């Protein structure tokens, strides 16, 4: 009898921990920075040359130079007119907000780079797993995003437009929907 009571208590405790974790996740997703915009959030680089600095000022040293306009980055912190960003490789640093755009782009499965030539992300005609494949994107291919449903994103890569699974790109959060 005591064993059943302990199991019941353990199940209740696990349920409470899961509820608290999901509440923390919801609160983190609803966090807003000083700009009033959500943190974290995805944006793109507006310029062809963007300095990534070690601190939030032009007085800080440049740690990296991005040379790709439209590259997706994730804003994880705000300070005055500076944004702490993270790229798909996990590199973090500070960028002036004037060099960032609210347009959206994504990278096809960057975590799968170097895993072989048979690894790719399917771009489909419709937002369904059974829809016809219209392109096969290699990991690391950049695409622009028009909208996401929470499961699928309408994207354009090298002139081809189609739907990619949201779970196979870096540039949109799981479950995030926007137009």
What CATH number is associated with residue 122?
Answer: 2.30.30.40
pLDDT in tens, 150-175: 999 999 999 999 999 999 999 999 99
Q: For residue 27, what is the DSSP state?
A: H
pLDDT in tens, 55-108: 999 999 999 999 999 999 999 999 999 999 999 999 999 999 999 999 999 999
Query: In this structure, are 110 and 154 located in the same domain?
Result: yes
Q: Do residues 123 and 157 touch, judged by C-beta distance below 8 A? A: yes
Helix (H, G, I), strand (E, B) or coil at 137: strand
**Strands of the chain, DSSP E:** 41-45, 50-53, 62-66, 72-79, 82-86, 92-96, 100-101, 105-108, 121-124, 133-137, 142-149, 152-157, 160-165, 169-170, 177-178
Query: In this structure, are 88 and 132 located in the same domain?
Result: no
For residue 5, the model assigns a pLDDT of 42
For the CA atoms of 6, 7, 11, 12, the dihedral, rounded to the nearest 10 degrees, stands at: -30
Query: In this structure, are 110 and 92 located in the same domain?
Result: no
């Amino acid at each position: 009898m005591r064993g059943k009571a302990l199991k019941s208590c353990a199940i209740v405790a696990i349920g409470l921990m899961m509820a608290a974790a999901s509440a923390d996740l919801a609160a983190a997703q609803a966090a807003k920075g000083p700009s009033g915009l959500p943190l974290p959030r995805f944006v793109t680089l507006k310029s062809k040359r963007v300095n990534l600095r070690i601190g939030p000022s032009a007085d800080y040293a440049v740690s990296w130079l991005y040379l790709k306009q439209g590259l997706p980055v994730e804003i994880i912190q705000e300070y005055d007119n500076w944004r702490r960003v993270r790229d798909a490789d996990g590199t973090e640093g500070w960028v002036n907000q004037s060099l960032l755009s609210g347009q959206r782009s994504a990278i096809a499965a960057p975590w799968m780079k170097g895993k072989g030539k048979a690894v790719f992300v399917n771009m489909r005609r419709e937002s369904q797993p059974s829809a016809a494949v219209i392109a096969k994107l290699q990991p690391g291919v950049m695409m622009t995003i028009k909208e996401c449903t929470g499961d699928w994103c309408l994207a354009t890569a090298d002139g081809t437009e189609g739907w990619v699974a949201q779970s196979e790109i870096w540039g949109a959060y799981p479950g995030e929907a926007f137009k």
